[in-house]
Amino acid sequence: MVLEEKIGLISEKSFEVGPSDLARVLGSGDLEVLGTPTLLAWMEDVCWTSVSPFLEEGSTSVGTKADFSHLKASPLGASIWVRSELVKVDRRRLVFRVEAYEGALSEDTCIARGLLERFVVDCERFLSKIR
């Protein structure tokens, strides 16, 4: 698999906290701050899109494990920068180091960090198991 050659692959993407991203709206709390479910979805998106171009046709990756800490709250309108690094490939299991920052990338602005795992699957075979 070509992904073993991609260890160290870094991907970054920015997002803006909108009304539908708030904990109060998502049902994950009652405050108008970035909800952890949205932050997780953004981190998954950055990991997924980073490796997608290198997968065989008909394959994709699916999220299987998340172990991260949401360290600081971010308000509506905040600019969030998410960064992933592919740190391990074990056959079809992919491990990413993820970090999220509010505004500039510095230790003071880090709002989340941890590890995410994804698994490479054949789309047709995967979907046939749920039909």
Instruction: Kindly list the domain boundaries of the chain, sorted by start residue.
Output: 2-128
Taking alpha carbons only, the member of 61, 3, 72 closest to residue 31 is 72
What count of other Cβ atoms lies within 10 Å of the Cβ of residue 104?
Answer: 9
Q: Which residues of the chain have pLDDT under 70?
A: 1, 105, 107
Max Cα-Cα span within the chain = 47
| Per-residue confidence (pLDDT) for residue 105, from 0 to 100 | 67
Whole-structure pTM value: 0.94
Work out the burial of residue 58: count CB atoms within 10 Å of its CB; fewer than 13 is exposed, 13-18 middle, 19 or more buried: exposed
| Per-residue confidence (pLDDT) for residue 67, from 0 to 100 | 98
DSSP-derived letter for residue 22 is B
| Per-residue confidence (pLDDT) for residue 104, from 0 to 100 | 73
Contact 80, 99 (CB under 8 A): no
Taking alpha carbons only, the member of 56, 113, 105 closest to residue 87 is 113
2-128 CATH: 3.10.129.10
